[in-house]
């Protein structure tokens, strides 16, 4: 008994820090396992725990330096071993929890049954080998026209221009101004174009406002169907655009902001409608070796008119077909142009390709974007 007591006193005397301490050592020493200690260390530690057993001469300062690389971190070790009630008194044989090796959920085998499956990320779509192209230009739409009724009515017209007041006045009849084929006799400019000032005989009372834009139209030829010879309507060509600069009670002043053809006094005006130029990915034109058969072309559209009255039509020309929005035709649609050989059983000939630019009831404006052979009014156009 005296030997055990002597060994205990010797162990306490060798502890670094306890000799220097003026505090009273704990008195409740008791045997835990194979060593004497005043504390109640745990008998087991969590799985994966890193445990160090204190030896003679150890201090928390030294253990922190050894395991954490910084002696000033000794409070972290003390916090993990809260059974030690006084950090100044530690005993050889006391176990110290240094850290715990944490397993991932997969390594521990938990959560695997309730974990949601990873969402499948679709692979990006392969890049299209076909280029994205614009199917025309603004002038193809705003300087073309439309097929309308035989006697369309338009709400406004150009009543005069600034040039009618700049020339000398001719009093030929004393009955007012003399109207000739090219305007009144005292005008100095008949054909108006970009930047010219024009006048309207309507104002606020007719619902006009500053900034309003109108399209100037000219009545053209009566369009007959090239197959049935029935009258489809009248072609109205677009001359340009007029924007109002100022509006009075019964008059308005405008400026020509786009000029396709010259605009004369008396030209009719209709409200401008913006129509963006369509774009789409352009595939190669239908090969000549693979045309539609005659039966498939039974309901095809027919080219009934060409801008500017062209007879021989080719690439970049604007034409008009006898089908429109009532059959679901839309801006940007592509149509293959065919001609059925007369008097033979030969297959239809692929002539070219059209791109629809503007759709009206019963008709549509389209641009020839591909041309293998000359195209004429009466040729067929089948939706691709």
Read off the pLDDT of residues 281-305 as tens digits, 9 standing for 90 and up.
888 999 999 999 999 999 999 999 9
State how far the alpha carbon of 331 is from the alpha carbons of 39, 242, 302, 364, 371, in Å. 89, 25, 17, 9, 20
Least confident among 15-19, 25-29, 166-170, 280-284: 15-19
Tell me what pLDDT residue 295 has. 92
Where is 138: in which H helix or E strand? helix 138-142
Six-digit token string for 67: 């395991």
Distance in angstroms (rounded) separating the CA atoms of residues 282 and 305: 25
The β-bridge partners of 64 are none
Q: Does domain 2-100 have CATH number 3.30.1380.20?
A: no
Q: Where in the chain is the domain with CATH 2.40.10?
A: 294-383
Q: In 10 A of CB 127, how many CB atoms?
A: 6
Q: Is the pTM of this model over 0.75?
A: no
Mean pLDDT of the chain, nearest integer: 85
Q: Where in the chain is the domain with CATH 3.10.350.10?
A: 2-100
* Average pLDDT estimate for 180-184: 56
Distance in angstroms (rounded) separating the CA atoms of residues 172 and 229: 48
* Average pLDDT estimate for 352-358: 96
In eight-state DSSP terms, residue 301 is: E
Region 294-383: CATH code: 2.40.10
Distance in angstroms (rounded) separating the CA atoms of residues 102 and 107: 10
């Amino acid at each position: 008994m005296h030997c055990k007591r002597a060994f205990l006193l010797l162990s306490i005397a060798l502890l670094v820090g306890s000799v220097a301490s003026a505090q009273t050592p704990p008195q409740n020493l008791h045997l835990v396992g194979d060593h004497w200690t005043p504390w109640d260390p745990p008998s087991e530690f969590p799985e994966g725990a890193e445990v160090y057993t204190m030896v003679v001469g150890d201090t928390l300062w030294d253990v922190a330096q050894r395991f954490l690389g910084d002696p000033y971190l000794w409070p972290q070790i003390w916090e993990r071993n809260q059974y030690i009630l006084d950090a100044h008194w530690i005993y050889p044989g006391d176990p110290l929890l240094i850290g715990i090796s944490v397993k991932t959920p997969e390594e521990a085998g938990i959560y695997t049954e309730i974990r949601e499956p990873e969402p499948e990320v679709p692979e990006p779509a392969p890049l299209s080998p076909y280029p994205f192209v614009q199917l025309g230009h603004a002038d193809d739409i705003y300087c073309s026209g439309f097929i309308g009724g035989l006697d369309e009515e338009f709400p406004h017209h150009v009543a005069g221009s600034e040039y009618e007041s700049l020339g000398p006045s001719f009093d030929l009849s004393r009955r007012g101004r003399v109207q000739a084929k090219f305007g009144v006799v005292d005008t100095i400019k008949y054909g108006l174009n970009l930047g010219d000032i024009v006048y309207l005989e309507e104002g606020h009372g007719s619902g006009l406002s500053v900034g309003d834009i109108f399209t100037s139209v000219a009545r053209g030829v009566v369009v007959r169907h090239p197959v049935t010879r029935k009258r489809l309507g009248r072609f109205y060509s677009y001359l340009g655009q007029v924007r109002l600069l100022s509006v009075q009670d019964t008059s308005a002043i405008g400026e020509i902001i786009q000029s396709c053809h010259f605009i004369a006094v008396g030209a009719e005006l209709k409200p401008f409608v913006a129509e963006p130029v369509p774009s789409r990915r352009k595939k190669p034109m239908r090969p000549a070796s693979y045309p539609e058969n005659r039966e498939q072309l039974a309901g095809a559209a027919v080219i009934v008119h060409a801008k500017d009255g062209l007879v021989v039509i080719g690439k970049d020309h604007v034409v008009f077909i006898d089908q429109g929005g009532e059959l679901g035709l839309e801006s940007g649609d592509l149509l293959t142009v065919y001609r059925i050989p007369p008097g033979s059983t030969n297959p239809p000939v692929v002539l070219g390709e059209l791109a629809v630019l503007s759709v009206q009831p019963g008709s549509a404006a389209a641009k020839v974007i591909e041309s293998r052979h000359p195209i004429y009014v009466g040729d067929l156009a089948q939706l691709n």
